[in-house]
């Protein structure tokens, strides 16, 4: 398919996902240009989380194909995964380690050792005073902030956020909005699944709506 | 539904010029460095919690004591069967140790987080297996003197030759144990499933470890030790390679 001068971050074709007898996603086809921010909405069980997990390579579709940044997502997941960051209900954190240690572990396992970047990320999310406490002692909102710090640290090209404002206090919500705007301005592609539609509309430039695993219509531009 | 062209057309109007149009060069860890990273992470986690080593040692010592109580004051029987009791205690305790090593990965879906860091699954397997092996080896080194004290065992060949069957035996438990623990942790009946999967597989390795340990303890007039050690070595080669190759399939959906 020709995409003119616009390069696609995501190209989804006929993607379906079945859990047992239930189809969570049914023949979804969508293109997302690089650098866009997409608001993903739909009722509970509409397939938002499933779609984000499939795009984040945490899950394989039952049918269909996905291209990320122009290359098909096949078995070579190690090639595409460094470019993605998936923030879901699961925090991926080790509870017995501190915030500092969790981030250092991520850096060590991604061939990075920039201590200043780690400290800057913790500072950005307001966790510096708590950086050496075990994550087990954190509130849900603090864990969410730490996930945000990990995402900032990794500098992915594609950011997938599932209910990013959940569990955050008002200052945390503002922080999340600021970080989303920063990442969008930096040219990164974002997909944000949220029930907070007004907030999402203010942050995104495309709107994709799902219902019972099907897309309601093509992604619609959001008026500024 | 095939509205891709329409989708793209709708998207064009908002497309911007991103700074990430070409794939940036991202450093990637080699197998060895990634394995060391996993080992360092697991040791740090154990150091922070220390739950695994304490519980495993306590459980294994208790098991040795129970064998002693069950047999009663028959020193000849206890001494003769000491290698078997030692390896049964290690094997039973290994279920706790292996299960705990995967429990920390299941909590908060941390293993999925590792996968999404684009780590080679073989590195995750190797790192976790090596740490499991070292824990079991440390456990074995604690249990040997306890066995000597409880069962009146004498080590005729000295501690040096005992090191080889202990190391190979604990490696033989860790290789399939790490894989099966990763399978079991995804199931509802994880505590029951792990021993059900693991114990039948371990029978040849357990047999070779018990025989080799027995020959070191009681003497080896027929020169059988080399054969049993080689069998244990072959068991290890097969399972470390096979499980290393299969681990990626197990942790990817």
Domain membership of residue B14 (yes or no) is no
Q: Tell me, yes or no, whether B7 lies in a domain.
A: no
pLDDT (tens digit per residue) in B91-114: 999 999 999 999 999 999 999 999
pLDDT at residue B70 tops 50: yes
- What is the β-pairing status of strands A63-68 and A214-215? unpaired
CB contacts, 8 Å: B117 with chain A: 81-82, 106, 109-110
pLDDT of residue A192: 97
The Cα–Cα gap between A136 and A151 comes to: 20
The pairing of beta strand A22-33 with beta strand A37-41: unpaired
Which stretch of A52-66, A123-137, A138-152, B26-40 has the lowest confidence by average pLDDT?
A: B26-40
Does residue B82 form part of some domain? yes
Classify residue B81: in a domain, yes or no: yes
Domains of chain A: 8-219 (3.40.50.300)
Query: pLDDT tier at B19 (50, 70, 90 boundaries)?
Result: very low
- What's the whole-model pTM score? 0.88
Per the domain annotation, does B74 fall within a domain? Answer: yes
On chain A, the residues whose CB falls within 8 A of the CB of B113 are 90, 92-93
B20 in any annotated domain: no
Nearest by CB to B107, from A26, A30, A95: name it. Answer: A95
Residue B12 and residue A34: Cβ atoms within 8 Å? no
- Please check the confidence at residue A5 and state whether its pLDDT lies above 50: no
The pLDDT of residue A218: 78
Distance from CA of A45 to the nearest CA of B (A): 20
What is the pLDDT of chain A when averaged over all its residues? 92
Which chain A residues are within 8 Å of B26, Cβ to Cβ?
A: 82-83, 110
Q: Which residues have CB under 8 Å from A40's CB, separation 6+?
A: A48, A51, A52, A191, A192, A193, A194, A208, A209, A210
Band of residue A113 on the pLDDT scale cut at 50, 70, 90: confident
Per-residue pLDDT, B8: 45
Tell me how far CA of residue B225 lies from CA of B90, B140, B173, B208, in angstroms: 21, 19, 20, 9
Tell me, yes or no, whether B22 lies in a domain. no
- Residues A162-207 have pLDDT tens digits of 999 998 999 999 999 999 999 999 999 999 999 999 999 999 999 9
The 3 state secondary structure assigned to chain B is: CCCHHHHHHHHHCCCCCCCCCCCCCCCCCCHHHHHHHHHHHHHHHHHHHCHHHHHHHHHHHHHHHHHHHHHCCCHHHHHHHHHHHHHHHHHHHHHHHHHHHHHHHHHHHHHHHHHHCCCCHHHHHHHHHHHHHHHHHHHHHHHHHHHHHHHCCCCCCCHHHHHHHHHHHHHHHHHHHHHHHHHHCCCCCHHHHHHHHHHHHHHHHHHHHHHHHHHHHHCCCCCCHHHHHHHHHHHHHHHHHHHHHHHHHHHCC
Predicted confidence (pLDDT) per residue in B138-155, tens digit = 999 999 999 988 888 887
pLDDT, averaged across chain B: 87
The pLDDT of residue B4 is above 60: no
**pLDDT at residue B5 greater than cutoff 70:** no
Residue A82 CA to residue A178 CA, distance in Å, equals 23
Q: How many domains does chain B have?
A: 1
Q: B163 lies in a domain?
A: yes
Distance from CA of B202 to the nearest CA of A (A): 31
pLDDT(A3) > 70? no
- Per-residue pLDDT for A208 more than 90? yes
Residues of chain A positioned with their CB less than 8 A from the CB of B102:
none
**For testing the chain A interface, which of B108, B248, B249, B252 should be mutated: the one with the most A CBs within 10 Å?**
B108
Q: Which domain, by its residues, includes B149?
A: 30-252
Tokens standing for residue B162: 């005992």
pLDDT at B25: 59
* CB-based contact B11 A31, cutoff 8 Å: yes
């Amino acid at each position: 398919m020709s995409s003119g001068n616009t390069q696609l971050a995501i190209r989804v074709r006929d993607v379906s996902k079945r859990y047992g007898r239930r189809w969570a996603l049914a023949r979804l086809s969508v293109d997302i240009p690089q650098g866009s921010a997409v608001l993903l909405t739909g009722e509970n069980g509409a397939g938002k989380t499933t779609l984000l997990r499939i795009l984040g390579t945490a899950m394989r579709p039952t049918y269909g194909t996905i291209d990320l940044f122009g290359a098909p997502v096949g078995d070579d997941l190690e090639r595409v995964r460094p470019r993605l960051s998936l923030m879901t209900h699961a925090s991926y954190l080790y509870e017995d380690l501190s915030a500092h240690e969790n981030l250092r572990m991520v850096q060590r396992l991604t061939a990075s050792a920039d201590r200043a970047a780690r400290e800057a990320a913790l500072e950005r999310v307001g966790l510096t005073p708590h950086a050496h406490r075990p994550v087990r002692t954190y509130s849900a909102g603090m864990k969410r902030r730490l996930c945000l710090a990990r995402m900032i640290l990794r500098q992915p090209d594609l950011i997938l956020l599932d209910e990013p404002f959940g569990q955050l206090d008002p200052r945390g919500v503002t922080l999340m909005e600021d970080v989303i705007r920063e990442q969008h301005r930096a040219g990164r592609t974002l997909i944000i699944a949220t029930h907070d539609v007004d907030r999402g509309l203010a942050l995104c430039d495309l709107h994709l709506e799902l219902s019972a695993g099907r897309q309601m219509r093509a992604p619609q531009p959001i008026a500024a | 539904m095939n509205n891709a062209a329409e989708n793209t057309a709708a998207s064009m109007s908002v497309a911007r010029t991103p700074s990430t149009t070409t794939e940036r060069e991202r450093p990637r860890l080699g197998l060895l460095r990634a394995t060391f990273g996993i080992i360092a992470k697991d040791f740090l986690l154990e150091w922070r919690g220390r739950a695994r080593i304490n519980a495993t040692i306590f459980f294994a010592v208790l098991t040795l004591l129970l064998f002693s109580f069950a047999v009663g004051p028959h020193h000849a029987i206890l001494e003769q069967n000491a290698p078997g009791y030692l390896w049964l205690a290690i094997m039973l305790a290994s279920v706790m140790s292996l299960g705990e090593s995967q429990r920390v990965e299941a909590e908060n879906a941390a293993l999925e987080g590792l996968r999404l860091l684009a780590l080679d699954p073989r590195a995750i397997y190797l790192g976790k297996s090596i740490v499991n092996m070292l824990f079991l080896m440390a456990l074995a080194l604690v249990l040997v003197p306890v066995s000597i004290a409880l069962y009146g065992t004498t080590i005729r060949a000295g501690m040096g030759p005992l090191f080889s069957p202990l190391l190979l035996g604990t490696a033989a438990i860790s290789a399939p144990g790490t894989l099966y623990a990763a399978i079991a942790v995804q199931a509802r009946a994880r505590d029951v499933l792990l021993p059900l999967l693991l114990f039948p597989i371990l029978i040849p390795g357990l047999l070779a470890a018990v025989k080799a340990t027995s020959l070191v303890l009681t003497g080896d007039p027929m020169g059988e030790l080399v054969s049993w050690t080689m069998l244990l070595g072959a068991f290890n080669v097969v399972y470390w390679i096979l499980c290393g190759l299969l681990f990626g399939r197990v942790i990817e959906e």
